[in-house]
Every structure is written in structure tokens, then in C-alpha cells.
Chains A and B, each alone.
Chain A
Amino acid sequence: MARCQTSDEIRQKGFDMNKEETQRIGEVIQSSTLGFAAQCYELDDFPPLGALVETQSGDNRVYGIVFNAATEAIEPGRKPLARGKNETSEEALYNANPQIAKLLKSEFQALAVGFKKDAKIWRYLPEQPVAIHSFVYLSPPADILEFSRSFEFLNTLLNSNITLAHEELIAACLRQMSAVQEDKHAFLVAAGKHLATGLSNDFNRLRTILERIKQ
């Protein structure tokens, strides 16, 4: 797959680079059919849990839901140490140890939940994993609204193979998405009804999610 795209190419696909640039949060460092992992450009500057993120990969604009984030040492064997015993504030700690930012990295993982191709959104797995080093953007409200018109992606989340409890992830995702909705309540009720169908034989899981999304 042709990896590098000029900003012109991207613009032709209807993506506003200038606007998105401000919301660019990282780049893909690991990719699979099920999703991707991305490294944040700034330490601890994660997208929220359950946030919708997107990345352009070839013709596809792939959407992912953030399900995990972590900050750890760049070198696996080198664990961070507590250094602030004699510092007055955390800011002072960073100032006294400028190497910290260089020795640590922040990463997040997202599950692929859909993609946009030829101006149409498909809420299932893209044919190809996203290309490595694709830039990852936090989805703007307009994209969230468009993507959340159907709740089919919730089924992908429900059936995903992740260690995080599905209920937590789904609730977080719906909370994130509801924030940009005009009628937040109606959105959450509709999502709840969709889940109720999927979890028709497991009311306790449904209740866990509903408890986490009600206002």
C-alpha cells in the first residue's frame, strides 16, 4: 500500500489537515487487523478511554476506539524511579530531571471499529490493517456524530478480545460520544436499546453498562 500521502491528496479526500493538525495525537507504531497501537507525541497526552480516533490509511479512513493507554520506559529493562522526594512540586521534579521525557513513552491502543471509504462509513473491520506510522487524530465532533448514527460498532466492542471489561469500554465510549450529541439522553437511550438487544440474555452486563452511562 502506498504509504506516504501528500497533504494535497489528503485534502482531496475531504480532510481538513489544518484543523486536524491541532488534534493529531500520535502515530501508529503497531498495527493489526483488530486495531492499532499508537505512540503519543507528548508524554501522558492520551486520548480519553473510549474516545473515537481516526487515521488515514490508503483510501480508508479507519476509526478506532481507545481501549488502553500506558506510559512506560522506552527500554524495557529500565524502570522509572521515584525522584521527587526533595522536590517541592511535580513541575520542579520535571525541571530537575529533563531526561524523563526522553526515557519514557506514552502509548495507547485502539480497536478498529469501522472505516470510511468513498464518503461512506462502514462499521466493521477494514480489509487491511492501518499502515504503520499513520498519523492518528482525535475525531472531531462532526465525525463522531456521523459515526455514531448507527450503533453497529458496539457489537464489535462487545465481541472484542481485550482484557479490559467490555462494559467499562462501552460505557466510556458512549459517554464520550454522547458529549457531542444534541440530545444526549435520546442518544444514550437509543444506544442502551441497541445493547439490550445484543445482551438480551444477560441483563446484569447490560445493567452494568447502563449504570455507567446514565446521567
Chain B
Amino acid sequence: MSTEDKRMGIVVSGSTNKGVEVRLDADTSVEDMVVGRYVTIEGRKRRFFGMITEVILGVTDLSLTQTPPDTHDSFISEVLCGTGTFGTLEVMPYLTIGGDTLSITDGPQPVKTIPSHYSTVQLAQDSDIELVFGKEDKERFYIGNPLDMETKLCINLPELVKRSNGIFGKSGTGKTFLTRILLIGMLQKSASVNLVFDMHSEYGWAGTSEKTREVKALKQLFPSKVAVFTLDEENSRKRGVSTDHVVRIGYNEIEPEDMSLLRETLNLTEPAVEAIYQMRRKFGSEWFLKTTQMSDSEGTKELLNSLNIHESTFQNLQRGLNMIKRLPFMQERTEQKTVNRIIEDLSRGLNVVLEFGRYTDITAYILVANLLTRRIYSHYRDKTEKSLSGLSEPPIPLVITIEEAHKFLNREIANKTIFGTIAREMRKYNVTLLVIDQRPSGIDEEIMSQLGTKITCLLDNERDMDSVLSGVSGKSELKSVLAKLSAKQQALIFGHSVPMPVAFRPREYGSAGSYKEFGAKADDFEQAQQDIEDLW
């Protein structure tokens, strides 16, 4: 098909800031135009790639809106279509490619100008998308299809994991599916390992789709590359999950920083958090146990007096600590086996998924995630520093996936938690984050601005949208694309690892064929086929 056949209209005005206005040809229906779709603009000297950010109905004469013609008169409507009444698009150009050979070999570059007047605009073809995003290869991973297109949208995963990234979206918009797809991609192509804090046990063995169908997760698809750790052995066994290790946390492993993170969820007062640090100084690593064991005796009172801790504060603290103590995976003492085991697996290139089983309570999640991450991070830091001095190999890049990220990275605690540090320091120590959240406005702005690539499903809260799009050029235009994403299976990706923002439909996940496409083991595929046959 020649490009002329696909012509939709011409550029009639524009600015680099706000994008260009495209007047649609009379035979192009506005109803065929979709916000978020890709277009190419043939300028005189260069070609531009852009995205439709707004579709507008226009009239040349205001009286057309004030005294509209008889709509039953098809002749007048036909005459007015495209002349007196017309459609316009707002298109944000993102990339450009020059006409000379040098520019063509360089590939698309970010735009610094806009196409000239009356440049023709066409819907982007598959070949254009391929030119911009590249083909699926050993580094590029196919994550989905641009809206209304069949072509594969590929992202460069080694590039992606160099920075912390975020996946956002309202509940039920497909964040989990998207994350699972991305995790598989990283597992295959990013040369990094993943540590997933799997709050709802969705990523390790099996997840569920909204049609209540069980879908396979990482361990089933790539058994040799994934280790599943669990906090809740019984639950895992019931679900038929083959786990590699049961995680236990010792009281002695809990540090005051972990508690300050839990201040809100445990309903601790400020003085109570202060008291924790005093207890730590007083009792050393045994502080947790000793504090919980302190009875209502004279000795206790004296101690509290000497530490200048008010009794009500102490009660508040004890209540909080007891809540943690009641968590079944807590033990009096461990020898940091869990952390070592995780580090060992990660350094062997295994991806680790930590299932929380029944402990989906946010207290358990924050405590465990923060505690383990802190240890793992310090291990990574040591190893990286050693490698810098030439003593050893640098560790395999690590991506830590956390859900409900706003609980770790909100304004109050972002600079206290290890996650805040990781997000800020980025790849210096080869550790980055993949944050998954439904309320991005709850995440500290500084952290949000450090996220390299953001993938967002539908968001409908104004503040959430603003927060996700903060610092992005053409924010208001992207916002209109974001607000109009479908509630399911549509997402917008923008940032470091993609040359331009793109709205896409994530690739299929959950069918036997899709598992095969992900390159899962052949026998898994056969098994899946078998499952289907059994089903019938």
C-alpha cells in the first residue's frame, strides 16, 4: 500500500511545545481516529513520528454550531463534511529521522523541531513501528502491540533494568499480568536476576485471571531459573506449589529502621519509634525480644525512667511489637539463613520469588521486604565496591519487585527506607527496583522522578495521573491518552527504555500458545495442551 493511500490529513499549525494540529481530510472519519495511535508525518526534509493526543471537531463558521443544518438532509451534510465541518487531531511529534543517509543509519532521534505547514500525515505502518522500537531479538522483548496495530512492540530489557522502573494502574487493570510478562522478559533477556516480593502469591507458581482461570507463573514456565521461597509453608503446600525454601525471620534480625517504616501500619507514636532506638542502644541486637518480655514491674519502670520513656509510649511500643511477634513466621532467633540462601540463589543467576501465602497483611509485607532488601542491598554494595577495586567480579544486576510501593516510598519514609536509597542511587550498586502501585500519588515525588521507565494502565485519579506523568514532556497530551486507556489490557509506556511513549495492548498471557511463545520448556507446552484436553 502506498503512503498516499493512508493519508489522513495535513499539518496546519503547531509548536514544539504543544505538538502540531492536523486537519483531517474530508474522507477521513474522526471516528476512526483513536487517541494514543501512532502517526508519521512526512515533512519536507525529515520524517516525524508522533502520537495522536487529541481528536477535535471543528467548524469554519460559528453559525454552523448555532443554527445547525437539517441533519436529515444528506446533501448538505455531505457538502459540509470536511469543508465547513471538519475533524482535527493534535499530534505530539516525538521522534524524527532525517532524509540523508547518515540520519537513516543513526535511526530516529528525539524531535527538536516540528514538521512544516501542510506536511502530510499518515497512520503509522508496521514497518515504522519496527524502525522506532526495533525487532524482537536477544535483547529486545516483545511486550505487546501498539493500539490497533498488529506489529510487535519490543523494549530493550538490558536498558530497562539499568534504572528503577514503575508499573502503575488502578486495581483490576492488569498490572499483575503486565508485571508477569515483564518478569519473564527480564528473566530471558535482561542478564539480570529478579527478587520478587510476591504479596498475593501471583508470580511464583500460579496466578489467577479474572475469569478465575489459573495461569502459570514463573516457576512453572522456567523451573530451572526460578526459586520460590515462602513465608507460609502450609499455604504453599495446599496450593500444590513446589517451594525451594521456607523463610523464617528472627527477632534479632529486626532493626529500628524496620520499625520506623511500620510506624503507620502498627499505629506507633513518634515517641514510641524514638524509644525503639533507645532500646536498641540499651539491649543491642536482642532489643526486640527483651522489650516484648519486659513485664509491668518496678525494674521496668526504673529502666523506662532512666531512658526517659513515658509509660504510655512504652505500652504503645509493646503493643506494636507484639503484633509482629504474633506473625507465625517470626522466630526467636535465626542465623540469617534466609538472606544467605537468597543471595546464594541470586548469585547463581536464579530468580527468587518470595510468596507471602496467607500473610497478605501489609505489616508482614513491609517488614519482610524491607528487612531482606536491606541485607541483600548491603551485600550487593560490598560486592560492587570490591569489584570496583578489582578484587572480584561485579554481581549480576538485581531487580527487586515490590508491590504496594507507596507504603515503602511515601513522602514521610522514602528517605529512611532502603527502597528510597535504591531508587535514588539507581544502578551504582547494580540494584534497581520495579515498583508496582495503584496509588502513585502516594509515592515520594523525588522517587517518582528517578524511575526510568514507567508503564501505566488506566488511572482515573487526577493526582495519580499527575504524579505518574510528572517531569514528562508533553504531559497534558499524554494525560489525555492515559485517561482514555481502556480499563483492561491497555497500557502506556514511556521513559528511558522506549524512544517515545506508546499506548499498547500487552501480549497474550495464559493460553497454552502464549506459554510456548514465551519460550517456556517444550514439555510445559505439551503439558498445557494436555491440560486443555483434560479440560474437555
Contact = CB atoms under 8 A, between A and B. Distances in A.
Nearest to B76: A210
Interface in A190-215: 192-193, 195-197, 200-204, 206-207, 210-211, 214-215
Contacts of A201: 60-61
Nearest to A186: B78
A188 interface: yes
B79 A203 contact: no
Interface in B343-358: none
A214 B63 contact: no
A197 B63 contact: no
Interface stretch (B80-88, B167-175, B371-379): B80-88
Contact of A189 (B61, B69, B75): B75
B204 to A, nearest CB: 63
B83 A197 contact: yes
B64 A214 contact: no
Nearest to B74: A214
Interface string A33-65: 000000000000000000000000000000000
A144 B75 CA distance: 23
Given A200-B84, A203-B84, A214-B73, A192 B60 contact: no
Interface in B55-103: 60-61, 63-64, 67, 69, 73, 75-76, 78-80, 82-84
B237 to A, nearest CB: 74
Nearest to B69: A207
Contacts, number: 48
Interface residues of B, number: 16
A176 to B, nearest CB: 18
Contacts of A185: 75
B26 interface: yes
Contact of B63 (A189, A203, A215): A203
A87 B73 CA distance: 48
A189 B78 contact: yes
A165 to B, nearest CB: 18
B84 A214 contact: no
A189 B80 CA distance: 9
Contact of A214 (B26, B67, B76, B83): B76
A200 B86 CA distance: 12
Contacts of A196: 60, 79-80, 83-84
Nearest to A210: B76
A193 B26 contact: yes
Nearest to B68: A203
Nearest to A188: B75
Contacts of B73: 214
Interface of A: 185, 188-189, 192-193, 195-197, 200-204, 206-207, 210-211, 214-215
15 contacts: A188-B75, A189-B78, A192-B75, A193-B26, A193-B79, A196-B80, A196-B83, A197-B83, A203-B60, A203-B67, A203-B84, A206-B84, A210-B75, A211-B76, A214-B76
